[in-house]
Structure 1
Amino acid sequence: MGRSSDSRQRMVAAARQLIRERGYHGTALSDVVKRSAAPRGSVYHHFPEGKVQMAAEAADSHAREQVEMINQVAGSSSSAEDLVRTYFDLAREGMVNSGYQRGCAIAPLVIEASEESEGLDEVGRRSFSSMVDGMAFQLTVLGVEHTAARELAHAVVAAVEGALVTSRALRSPEPFDAVRVILADRARNLTAHLQASS
C-alpha cells in the first residue's frame, strides 16, 4: 500500500514538473512514467481517467503548495508589505533557478483546456481561487481591510502569473522586480490608510 501510494505521489510530482515546463498538451503520459520512475502500466491503475485526472491532481498539488507557502511567509512577516514582497521574491527565485524553464502548473490547464479535457477549466478556477483566498486571508490578518485585501490578493496572484510568462519569455527577472515594487507599495499604503482611519 505504501509503495503504491509513493509511486502515485511521484507520478503527480512528475506531471506537475512537466506541465510547468512543457504545458498540458506537451506532457505525455510516457514522459511522466519515465521521470517518476513509476512501473509501466501503473498510470491507469492510479489514474483511471488518464491524463486529465493526473493533470488535475498536479494542479491541485501546485495550489496547495502555494497556499502553504503563503501561510509560511505570512507567519514570518511583520506586515502585508513583507508578505507581498517575499512572495514575489520566492516566485522570482524559482523562475531564475529553473533557468527560466518552469512556469505554473495551473495556467496551462486553463489555457489549453478543450472538450477533450473537460473539467480542467473547473480545476483551474478552484486552484486559483484557493490561492487568492489564502493570500486575502493573510493580508487581512496583517492589517489590510477585507475588501482591499481581496483586491490586492487578486492583483498579487495575477501579477505572479503574468511575471512567470513574461520573465520566461524575456529570460529576465525584471517583470518580477517591477510588479513587486508596485504591489508591495500598494500593500504598505493600504495598511497605512487603515491605521490612519482607526
Structure 2
Amino acid sequence: MGRNSDSRQRMVEAARQLIRERGYHGTALSDVVSRSAAPRGSVYYHFPEGKGQMAAEAAARHAQDQVEVINRAGDSASSAEDLVGTYFDLAREGMVGSNYQRGCAIAPLVIEASEESEGLHDASRRSFSAMVDGMAFQLIVHGVGNADARELAHAVMAGVEGAMVTSRALRSPQPFDAMRVALTDRARSLTAGARTPS
C-alpha cells in the first residue's frame, strides 16, 4: 500500500513538473512514467480517468505548494509590503533558476484543456482560488482590510502569472521586477493609514 501510494505521488509530482515545463498537451503519460520511474502499467491503476485526472491532481499539488510558500513568506514578513515583495522574489528566483523553462502547473489547464474537460476547469478554479485565499489571509494578518486584501491577493496572483509568461518569452526577470514595484507600492498604501499614529 505504501509503495503504491509513493508511486502515485511520484507520478503526480512528475506530471506537475512536466506541465510547468511543456504545458498540458506537451505532457505525455509516457513522459510522466519515465520521469517518475513508476511501473509502466501503473498509470491507469492509479488514474483510471487518465491524463485529465492526473493533471487535476497535479494542479491541486501545485496550489498546495504555493499556499505553503505564501504561508512561509507570511511568517517571515514584517509587513504586507514585505509579504508581497517576498512572494514576487521567490517566483522570480524560481523562473531564473529554471533558465526560464518552468511556469505554472495550473495555467496550461485553463489555456489548453478548457474545452476538454469540465473537471479540469473545476480543478484550475479551485487551485487558483486556494492561492488567492491563502494570500488574502496573510495580507489580513499583516494589516490589510478584508475587501482590500482580497483585491490585492487577486492582483498579486494575476501579476505573478503574467510575469511568468512574459518573463519566459523575454528571457528576462524584468516583468517580475516591474510587477513587484507596482504591487508592493499598493500594499504599502493599503496599510499606511493603519501605521500612522493618531
Q: Name the TM-score, length of structure 2 as normaliser.
A: 0.97
Amino acid in structure 1 at the alignment position of 2:190: L
Aligned-residue CA RMSD (Å): 1.2
Tell me the residue number matched to 2:34: 34
Give the match for residue 52 of structure 1: 52
> What's the CA shift for 1:197?
8.8
* Moved >4 Å (runs of 4+): none
Percent identity, please. Answer: 79
The gaps in structure 2 that reach 5 residues or longer are none
Corresponding position of 1:171: 171
SS of 2:8's equivalent? helix
Shift of residue 2, structure 1, vs aligned partner? 1.1
Structure 1 residue 185 displacement after superposition: 1.1
Number of residues of Structure 1 aligned to a counterpart in Structure 2? 198
Alignment-mate amino acid for residue 148 of structure 1: D
1:127-148 alpha-carbon deviations (Å, 9 max, x no partner) = 0001001100110000001111
Q: Which residue of 1 aligns with 2:113?
A: 113
Structure 1 gap segments, 5+ residues each: none
Q: Report the Cα distance in structure 2 between the residues aligned to 1:178 and 1:109, rounded to whole angstroms.
A: 26
Tell me the equivalent position of 1:155.
Answer: 155
Inter-partner Cα distance in structure 1 for 2:114 and 2:74: 36
Amino acid of the residue matched to residue 173 of structure 1?
A: P
Deviation at 1:116, TM superposition (A): 3.0
> What CA distance in whole angstroms lies between the structure 2 residues aligned with 1:164 and 1:134?
20
Match of 1:104 in 2: 104
Structure 1 position 74 matched with structure 2 position 90: no
Q: CA separation in 2, counterparts of 1:159 and 1:197? A: 32
CA contact 1:145–1:194 (8 Å) conserved in 2: no
